[in-house]
Amino acid sequence: MVAAPFGLALTDMASPEAVAAVLGKVVRPAVIWLHFQDCTGCTESLLQTSHPGFADLILNVISLEYHETLMAGSGLQARQALDEAVKRYAGKFILVVEGSIPTGAQGIYMKTGGRTAMEILNDVGGKAAAIIAIGSCASWGGIPSADPDPTGAVGVADLLPEHSIINIPGCPPNPYTMLGVVLQYATDGTFPETDDQRRPKFAFDRDIHEHCPRRAHFDAGNFVKVYGDAGHREGWCLYEMGCKGPDTHAGCSTRHFNEIPDVWPIGIGAPCIGCTEKAVAFKVPMFQVVQLHTIAAPPTSYAPITTTRGTISPLATGLVGLGVGVLATGGYVASRKFSKKEDDESAPGSKPDNKAGE
C-alpha cells in the first residue's frame, strides 16, 4: 500500500515489510486542511506523489475531513462540514494550514464564510491537537509577506506560538517531507525532531550546496555567467547567477519533485531562490550572490591541467633542477592568479568552451 518516504525515523527499519507492518496498524488521524493566502501550489505538489498516491494518503493513511480545493461541497454546505468536523474531532485532529494569514486592518484582506482568516485560525487552530504549516506562506508569510507586504501576512506560529506546530517550508514544499511527517504522526502520534525554525530535521538539516550535483563545477570554478551560455548548457554551477543553495537548508538536491529525476530548480537550470529559508526567499534579491558562511569561497585561480611544453636547459636536471622546478611551478601558478584575464582560455574555469553543446 505505502512505500514510506526516506529520511523518516520510520525508515530506519530493516525492510519495506517492517515499515508496512507498522503502517498497517496506523489509526487514521482526522485532518482538517485550511487555505489562506496561497497559490495552492502546496496541494498541487502533494497531488503529484505516488508513494503513496494522494488517494491512498487521504483514504488509507489519514481521514481528510475538510479541504477546500478537493471537496465537492461549497458555500453553506462546506461551512457546515468544517464546523461538524471541528466539533467531532475537537482536540484530536491535525490541522494543516496552507497559505499566510493577513493581519493588516484587523485581517480584513481575507474573509471566508463571514470570518477573517485570523478568526478561523484562532477557532480551528485552537481546537487542533497539532498543526502542520505547509509551505513558506503558512510557515512565516512567504510570497504575500514580501516587501511591501500590503496585507501584513504572517505564518501560523506568529499567531499561535504556544501550539504544537511543525513548519514544512518551501514554495512549494517537497511533498515527501509532508508525507514523512504525516506518516510518523499517524504511526505513533509524534512529530519528528525539529530545528530552531520548527522544521523537521530529517529534511532540513543540510544545505542544498552540500549535495548539489553541480558542486564539482563550483569547486572547479566553472560558473554560468549568463543564461543560455555554453556553461549553462553544460550544467555548470549557478552560484554567480544568485544561487542561494549555500545558504538554504532543504533536501531538494537529493529528493526531486514529481518523482522525475532532475525535476527541481537547479536540475532544470534555475538557481535556488532559497524558498525554504525565512531570511532568504522573497527577501534577498534573486540574482544577488550569497555570502559563503560555512564553506570556503570558491578559489580564484586554479593550477593548469596542461601546460605548453618548453625547452629544458641541461642545467635543469638532477636535484638542482628539481628545486628550481618546484619554485618555477609555484611562481607559474601564482602569476596565473594575478594575470588571469576574462578571455584567458588556458585558465580552467575562466571561460566555457563555446563549442560545447552546439
Residues of the shown chain interacting with ligand FSX in the complex, contacts defined by CB under 6 A: 38-42, 98-99, 135-137, 142-143, 171-172
| Residue closer to ligand FSX (CB basis): 2 or 252 | 252
**Distance of alpha carbon 228 from alpha carbon 352, whole angstroms:** 12
- The yes or no reply on residue 110 touching ligand F3S (CB under 6 A) is no
- In eight-state DSSP terms, residue 144 is G
Contact partner at residue 143 from ligand FSX, ligand SF4, ligand F3S, none, CB < 5 to 8 Å by partner kind: ligand FSX
Cα–Cα distance list, 117 to 81, 122, 210, 237 (Å): 17, 8, 38, 42
> What is the x/- site pattern for ligand SF4, positions 250-269, by CB under 6 A?
----------------x---
Backbone φ and ψ of 12, nearest 5°? -70, -10
| Residue closer to ligand SF4 (CB basis): 149 or 210 | 210
| # of chain residues touching ligand F3S (CB under 6 A) | 13
**What's the burial of 165, exposed, middle or buried (CB within 10 Å: 0-12/13-18/19+)?**
buried
Contact partner at residue 336 from ligand FSX, ligand SF4, ligand F3S, none, CB < 5 to 8 Å by partner kind: none
- The yes or no reply on residue 204 touching ligand F3S (CB under 6 A) is no
- The yes or no reply on residue 336 touching ligand SF4 (CB under 6 A) is no
Binding ligand F3S by CB under 6 A: which of 170, 180, 246, 298? 170
Contact partner at residue 102 from ligand SF4, ligand F3S, ligand FSX, none, CB < 5 to 8 Å by partner kind: none
DSSP labels, 35-82: E-B--SHHHHHHHT-BTTBHHHIIIII-EEEEETTT-S--HHHHHHHH
- The residue of the chain with the least Cβ separation from ligand SF4 equals 245
Given the C-alpha cell 522544521, which residue does it identify?
199
To the nearest whole angstrom, how small is the minimum distance from the Cβ of residue 156 to ligand FSX?
A: 11
To the nearest whole angstrom, how small is the minimum distance from the Cβ of residue 69 to ligand FSX?
A: 9
- Do the bridges between strand 94-98 and strand 130-134 make them parallel or antiparallel, or are there none, so unpaired? parallel
- The yes or no reply on residue 209 touching ligand SF4 (CB under 6 A) is yes
Of 23-31, 59-67, 244-252, 282-290, the segment contacting ligand F3S by CB under 6 A is: 244-252
Q: What strand order describes the sheet that includes 130-134? A: 63-67, 30-35, 94-98, 130-134, 165-168
> In this structure, how many other beta carbons lie within 10 angstroms of the beta carbon of residue 153?
26
Residue (of 326, 324, 304, 53) closest to 179 by Cα position: 53
To the nearest whole angstrom, how small is the minimum distance from the Cβ of residue 236 to ligand SF4?
A: 8
Burial 19-55 (b: 16+ CB within 10 A, else e): beebbeebeebbbbbbbbbbbebbbebbbebeebebe
| Residue closer to ligand F3S (CB basis): 127 or 215 | 215
- In eight-state DSSP terms, residue 100 is B
Binding ligand F3S by CB under 6 A: which of 42, 124, 160, 273? 273
Footprint on this chain of ligand SF4 (rule: CB under 6 A):
208-209, 212, 214-215, 218, 237-239, 243, 245-246, 266, 272
Footprint on this chain of ligand F3S (rule: CB under 6 A):
170, 208, 248, 250, 252, 264-266, 272-276
